[in-house]
Amino acid sequence: MGIVLRSTQLPPIPSDEVWFEVQVDFKRCSSPALVKTNLNNLQQNGLTQSIAKLIICTSSFYLGYNSNLRGRLNDVWTYLSKLNPRPTQYKGRNRLLFSKVCAQRPMAHVSEILGAGAGLLIARHIYNRPLRAWQPKSGNNPLDYYSLSANGSCRIEIEVRGRFDRNNWTKARDQIVKKIPAQTSKSGSSAISYAGIIFAPRTTKNPRKPDFLVVDPEIPGHPSENSLLPLRLILRKYAPYFVWQGFTKFAQRLIEISKLQDNEFANFLEHGDDQLRRFNSFRTSMHINGIRYFGTVWDGILWPEFLTGVEISKGAFIDGLAEPIIDAMRTGKIKEILFLNIEEHVGREDGYVRVLLDDGRARAWAPSIDKLLKHP
């Protein structure tokens, strides 16, 4: 079967930018001045984001982690296409609106996982940590995530909730307010920053209350600088990508290096690693915006129709990682990964879809391998 134009019942997700209102609960906020400034800016100016980027960010963040979660994500994207996310004008601004067409349980799944992705974008603004510096917490359902401050002195943990139309909003807030002190008491003398983020997807055109609530961000304990921790976290962050690609030796070596003693890890940062130089980590490559991305092309892959805008029996998909990131892993120049300037982009043209996020991963889909590799 060839390419078929989509039916009007399930229009593709638009790339329009929408505006979200953010409310911050400062009741117990003890965060540093910069974090408070970021929180004030979000509360005063809100957050503007592309609908497609919001959804891609959610999907990309969990790809390659828990297999059961990937199955749930597939269900969520199916539900989401039927919910028809779209921009709508309200008081001179584009706001995000969904159709309410699913049963309560599927709607809860959508709000839960979409809330996690939206919360990640908010957390990035609060703590000035790029997407590449965050990863899910361990467990069977890693919908919350953590990062480290730039100097490794503080672990940042985010609890997220999603509630369509603010249903059970107060209950969600109370859950987070109770959980943060409990987590704080476990931290002892270490510095751990906890924040709760609640996201309210809308099915009504009159959003009279905020879309996001940021609850009680705070930093207890006594910061103790450890500049190696963020670099170790980077290696653990990207290891699942190479597992997903099928290069398990490369991934296992990244994990092994991340667990080295400080003196051995410092030696890696200075000289790199011969095993990583030797192990294969990609099958093909493509250039996007002047950057070479190494990865794997899969044929016969059906991307969700709400992303491609077409219905097709098969297509080609590439998942690639920027060359500077792989080079930095092999040479030990991990610090360079944290300071890479990668322009984010979500675009679609005639069935070709391209996604670039600041974690250095490029994902693209086209109706054929030839069109995928020859597309600009």
What is the predicted pLDDT for the residue at 223? 54
What is the predicted pLDDT for the residue at 258? 94
Q: CA 146 to CA 192: how far, in whole Å?
A: 10
Q: CA 82 to CA 103: how far, in whole Å?
A: 12
Residue segments in the chain with a per-residue pLDDT below the cut of 70 = 1-14, 28-31, 59-74, 76-77, 81, 138-143, 180-191, 206-207, 218-225, 301-314, 375-376
What is the predicted pLDDT for the residue at 45? 94
Which residues 6+ apart lie within 8 Å of 117 measured at CB? 54, 55, 57, 58, 59, 61
Q: What is the pTM of this model?
A: 0.76
Which residues 6+ apart lie within 8 Å of 376 measured at CB? none
Buried b (16+ CB within 10 A) or exposed e, 251-269: bebbeebbebeeeebeebe
The domain segmentation of the chain, as residue ranges, is 11-218, 229-374
Per-residue H/E/C for 171-223: HHHHHHHHHHHHHHHHHCCCCEEEEEEEECCCCCCCCCCCCEEEEEEECCCCC
What is the predicted pLDDT for the residue at 188? 45
What is the predicted pLDDT for the residue at 69? 56
What is the predicted pLDDT for the residue at 267? 96
- Asked if residue 359 lies in contact with residue 129, where contact means CB atoms within 8 angstroms, the answer is no
What is the predicted pLDDT for the residue at 251? 92
pLDDT digits (tens, 9 = 90+) for 286-336: 888 788 888 888 777 666 555 666 666 567 888 889 999 999 999 999 989
What is the predicted pLDDT for the residue at 62? 59
Maximum distance among all alpha carbons in the chain?
Answer: 62
Sign for the CA dihedral angle at 36, 38, 42, 44 comes to: positive
**Nearest residue to 116 via CA among 149, 161, 147:** 161
Please give the full DSSP string across 46-70, using - where no structure is assigned. -EEEEHHHHHHHHHHHHTTS-HHHH
Provide the mean pLDDT of the chain.
Answer: 79
pLDDT digits (tens, 9 = 90+) for 194-243: 888 999 999 887 667 899 999 877 655 555 567 788 899 899 888 888 88
Sign for the CA dihedral angle at 258, 330, 359, 314 comes to: negative
What is the predicted pLDDT for the residue at 20? 93
